[in-house]
Amino acid sequence: MSQVSGGSASMNEVIAQRRDDLAAAAQRSAAKNHPRSMVLLALMVLTLAVLWFSVSYKRHADAKDQLETLTDKANATMREAAKLKLYRELKAEKDRDSGGAAAGSWLGQLEAFGPAVGLTKPLTVPSTRTDRPAGKPTRTTATYTIRDENLGAMLAWVDKATTEVPGVEVTSMLVKPEAEVWMMTVVLVRYERTE
């Protein structure tokens, strides 16, 4: 019987050894099925992609800001060029008129445009303001408040004022309906060269 129990003990050791070998083989097989290096590589690629996206987005934002700045500068330059052209036209007009027209004559032209475009009510005298900065053109601002039944005639008057009187620009315009008429407040500006 001691021989059977001794054989049984060695058999138990062999079975235990075999079980440990199988468990180790199962762990190695599981490690091969879940390679850690592939997961680390994927994480590295993801990290690099996020970093690249961040840098690209920053460059895009910087380029967009630079484009907006340059666009603003270009628009300002174009406005200044238009003003320069206007100043030159006004000077040529003044030279042609041999001494130039009086400051209020262009306001008289604007009043004369009223009946010509179909305004039914005469224009009232506008409130005016003249700024004369040293070394710069004189800026005359005229604010008209017009009440009329014909909105089209009012808008035609503004169009005629800006197209037929050199140097007249609209700086603001507000149109409101009232009980039986339209009310329009329009601010016109004209630059005139002073000598």
Distance CA 131, CA 8 (A): 119
Tens digit of pLDDT for each residue in 103-151?
457 888 888 888 888 888 888 777 788 877 777 778 888 999 999 988 8
pTM metric for this prediction: 0.46
Return the SS3 of 66. Answer: helix
What phi, psi does 128 have (nearest 5°)? Answer: -120, 155
Summarised one tens digit per residue, pLDDT across range 29-55 is 877 777 777 788 889 999 999 999 999
Does residue 172 lie within any of the structural domains? Answer: yes
Residue 28 within a domain:
no
CATH code of the domain in which 185 resides: 3.30.70.60
Structure tokens at 173: 């315009």
> Is 93 or 187 the better-scoring residue by pLDDT?
187
Could you tell me if 194 and 138 are in contact, meaning their C-beta atoms sit under 8 angstroms apart?
A: yes
Residue 51 φ then ψ, to 5°: -60, -45
**Structure tokens given for 44:** 């590295």
**pLDDT tens digits for range 59-73:** 999 999 999 999 999
Asked if residue 144 is part of any domain, the answer here is: yes
Give the pLDDT confidence score for residue 124 in this predicted structure: 78
pLDDT score of 51: 94
Among residues 95, 113, 90, 81, the alpha carbon closest in space to that of 168 is found at 90
Please compute the mean of the pLDDT values over residues 73-90 and round it to a whole number.
Answer: 83
Largest CA distance in the chain: 144
Is the residue at 96 inside a domain?
A: no
* Domain housing 110: 105-192
Domain assignment present for 114: yes
22 domain-assigned:
no
Residue 120 lies in a domain: yes
User: Is residue 161 situated within a structural domain?
Assistant: yes
pLDDT of amino acid 123: 83
Domain count, the chain: 1
